[in-house]
Structure formats: structure tokens, C-alpha cells
Amino acid sequence: MDYTAAMLNTQAGRGVTGVASPTSAVSVPNTPFGPSALALNHVNFALGEGETVAVMGPSGSGKSTLLHALAGIIRPTAGTVMFRGVNLGTMGDADRTRLRRSAFGFVFQSGQLLPELPAVENIALPMMLGGVPYRDATDAAMLWLERMGLKALATHRPGEMSGGQMQRIAIARALAVRPAVVFADEPTGALDQTTGREVMGILMAAARDNGAAVVVVTHDPNVAAFCSRTVTMQDGRLGGDAR
């Protein structure tokens, strides 16, 4: 996968890397660390097709910022983030939105399901936003509900589900569009250990079956153990493999 970040501003001596080569930088003004503190600093990160990577580090180390830069949610202030030969930083907002909707899937700690929609429509929504007709999208969503063992919850809203059930719905929603990369930010942070292991097992198995790469931000070494590679972050810098 040509998902790379190359150095843009070498004189600045700062950088964040997208995935495969060198660097770019994201500055974070007005933080407790001072106006010139960098959320990401000389970060070089490469992600292979179908690879699973855990990003670990303390709170405030830049893990979520890295994930947001890789996903095109934020633009680094220096350097480039490339996905399959395309520089995310030069894309317009509408194009980056379409890319996130079609090529990327997201799983967050809280699930972020829409509370007014039943499970089947929460899963179907990204497909419908991409132009899939309602009937086709909900039919595909029902297949995902069956796969997750949650067909009985098709008409249930998030408020009627457990935390583990909501995360499984979120995983189905992320993978239903058959993304190239799934970004998961503390996906088990609100779950007990047993449920967290179950959710991670489901996420990794479903991503593997769909050929999707996975980037997981986590504090939990038990979660990181599900990935084929673990890297660490500290003060905006990316370290080597933690294993």
C-alpha cells in the first residue's frame, strides 16, 4: 500500500509521517507545553496492505493526532501524508470526506452510533451516504448483523444495547463499506476486559476477512497483542517496535 508521508520542510526540523516514508509536522499552539509544542515531531510511519499496527503511549503523546493525520481528518502543518499515491494534504475538504467515507473505516471508544437510528440503519448509513440505495444498504447491514450475532437487535437503538453490542455495531459500520484501512481509537476503553477481548477478536477477524489494514490507538498491551506490530509514541515522537 502506497500510504506514505514524505519530508516537506526539512529546515524546520519537524515532521509527522503518514505511512511509508518520511515526515510532516503538526504544531499545537497554546498547549501547556508552550506555543511551539509539536503534537507530532519527525514521525515516520509506514502501513502495509492488510497490516495491523498498534500505537501505544501515554496520554498526550500524539497517538490520536497521528491517527487523525493518517485519516485525513487534520492536515499536518509540514510534510505530507500519502495514501495510494495521493497527497491527502492537497485534497479539498469534499474530496477528503469522500475518501474517508469510501476508503477508511472508524471505530471509536464510545462507538459514536447515532442514538435515533436502529442498529441496521447505523450500519447502513455510510453506504447510503456513498450512494447505495436504502434497500441494498440495509440488506448488506443485515448480513453484517448476522455475522456479528446481533440479528435480533436490528431494530434496537443504541440506548437499548450493551457496550459490547454497540462496539460490534460500530465495527460492522466501519467494515461494511469494505475500507482499505480501519482506524480504531481506544476501541475497548469503555469495556470490561472480557468484552474488550471479544470485541478486538471480532474486529481483527472481520478486518482480515475483508483485507483491511488496521491502526489501533490504545493504552492496553492486551489490545496491542492482537496486532502484528506495535509502535510507541512519546512527546510527539514515534519509537520503534515495542516488541
Shortest CA distance to 63 belongs to which of 207, 224, 195?
Answer: 224
Q: Please give the DSSP secondary-structure letter assigned to residue 62.
A: S
Predicted pLDDT of residue 4? 46
The angle formed by the CA atoms of residues 61, 179 and 137, to the nearest 5 degrees, is 130
pTM of the complete model beyond 0.85: no
Q: For residues 88 and 167, what is the distance between their CA atoms, to the nearest angstrom?
A: 28
Identity of the residue numbered 88: L
Residue 37 has pLDDT above 70, yes or no: no
Q: Quote the percentage of the chain above a pLDDT of 90.
A: 50
Question: Strand 38-40 vs strand 213-218: parallel, antiparallel, or unpaired?
Answer: unpaired
pLDDT at 238: 85
H runs (alpha helix) in the chain: 63-70, 93-103, 119-129, 134-147, 163-175, 193-210, 221-224
Q: At residue 101, what are phi and psi to the nearest 5 degrees?
A: -75, -30
60-83, pLDDT tens digit by residue?
888 988 999 999 998 888 888 989
